[in-house]
Chains A and B, each alone.
Chain A
Amino acid sequence: MFTINCPYCGERDQSEFSNGGEAHVARPKDPSQVSDREWSEYVFIRTNPKGIYYERWVHTHGCKKWFNAVRNTSTDEILKVYKMGETPPPLKEFKNTIKTPSGEPDVGSGNFSVKKP
């Protein structure tokens, strides 16, 4: 559970918002020209990173406006919020704290973001 800084209303509880999945997924320009595989990619496949993730949110129980956010999915930390239509901030702007692909400490399982002081 976390709070989200809505660009229109300010900081509110996450439960006021609904998630819209990955941001900046472009619909193929001419769907009749793409192969079944490409169409399947567009319909079903989204990135699912442990780390920096560009996503969409809507302030359902508030201004009902859509906006984009950059969140670290391994800590749920929201790193940046920006409006629809704005250029997404480049990935290198964010420091990726993940040590290994799954973001776990070298030994043992668990959630390192909780263990952080």
Chain B
Amino acid sequence: MKKKYSIFNIVKNAFSNNQNWKKMWRNPEPRKFYDIIIVGGGGHGLGTAYYLAKEHGLKNIAVIEKGWLGGGNTGRNTTIIRSNYLWDESAHLYEHSLKLWENLSSELNYNVMFSQRGVLNLAHNEHDVKEIKRRVSANKLNGIDSEWTNPKEIKKLVPIMNTENCRYPVLGASYQPRAGTARHDAVAWGYAMRADELGVDVIQNCEVKKIKTKNNRVQGIETTKGIIRAKRVGVVASGHTSVLAETAGIRLPLQSKPLQALVSEPIKPVINTVVMSNAVHAYVSQSDKGELVIGAGTDGYNSFTQRGGYNIVEDTLRAIIELYPIFGKMKMLRQWGGIVDICPDASPIISKCEVEGLYFNCGWGTGGFKATPGSANVFAHTIAKDKPHIINAPFSLERFVSGRLVDEHGAAAVAH
């Protein structure tokens, strides 16, 4: 690693009024041919390019992004990281990711502000209690630090929570202390910088129009900057993956919907953990700036407009105010939407497909951010070796034919 960020560097650059910091990555024009092209310059795509270069020693790689780096769902999520998923397949994937998160800042020498502040998943009725206790046990069997907490302990962790005098009282929660949040832009920037250093061409403002195939083999891509040939193409385009797949004649089991989030005005620290509730659909954490980061739900229809309906926001805020009456008079600063691609079983697809040399990493739906390093890591393995890593083998496209789905509908996340 060449560009080290250190205290000495900060002092040195302070003397020149911070005018001489080097650009974090080059801005190259696309070449005519690459061995591997990754479509999508979000965290997953940039991470994939980084691991391809770093762990598999591959050269001649490009990342093609239609807008700016991390301007899609990487910069639109609520930054929650956890691995307390019910099924073994998911638990292994997200735990692989969490382990990479724990070392990511030092691996990239770039502060991704990973903060292990813990996550609470609340239970509001008898069924929730049973379901969550079952998940806690499943997590423990998979070596994940998950524990059942009672309302008294929850009140200690989050004193502002109204656990009793509400329509859906809090009966308990699962707690994962190693879970937390991270700075989402920094993840994209850190991966981009290190991938660039390893020779990856990160090309922005270049939209892919078509994936070109011939005799069931990928030939390259057609972009707004011309045709680029490639031996292998990995598509990590989140909500737009199925649109791109269609250009190669592949139909994916994905539906794209807007998912919204919002942040409040900044306030003093009031909540130092992440609290999620499946039953009333509300999740909240507080950013280091002091804003409350609140996640809302998806709209009930397919759409590519990055906004979403206000009734969805209203539903979430209603639940938030019930759980935290103290937030009743707060003002919301911003609200936005991102287009998420949802699979029928709410689990991702990290897979080869019937076209040789074409790979998909998609279907992350409403919870892809937490998986960024793990997903990128196993996707890089899948592309480099042309066969899935043991961790992502269950997440193949084939599972929709065999019927071996990984059903994570509301089992661990908030239901969307």
Spell out A's residues near B (CB within 8 Å).
1, 14-15, 18-19, 21, 36-37, 40-41, 43-50, 53, 55, 71, 73-76, 100-104, 106-111, 113-114
Contacts and interface: CB of A to CB of B under 8 A. Distances in A.
B400 A76 contact: no
B304 A50 contact: yes
Given A44-B344, A109-B68, A101 B244 contact: yes
B66 A102 contact: yes
Contacts of A47: 246, 251
B264 interface: no
Contacts of A108: 67-68, 205
Contacts of A21: 255, 302
B96 interface: no
A60 to B, nearest CB: 10
B209 A48 contact: no
B401 A109 contact: no
Contacts of A74: 304-305
Contacts of A44: 253, 344, 400
B303 interface: yes
A44 to B, nearest CB: 4
| Chain A at the B interface: SS class | loop
B103 interface: no
Nearest to B309: A1
Among A1, A36, A73, A102, the most chain B Cβ lie within 10 Å of the Cβ of A102
Nearest to B341: A48
Given A50-B243, A76-B305, A102 B251 contact: no
Contacts of A111: 305-307
B68 to A, nearest CB: 7
A74 B67 CA distance: 17
B123 to A, nearest CB: 27
A40 B401 contact: yes
16 contacts: A1-B310, A18-B300, A41-B251, A43-B344, A44-B400, A48-B256, A53-B302, A73-B303, A74-B304, A75-B305, A100-B224, A102-B240, A102-B244, A104-B207, A108-B68, A111-B307
Contacts of B303: 73, 76
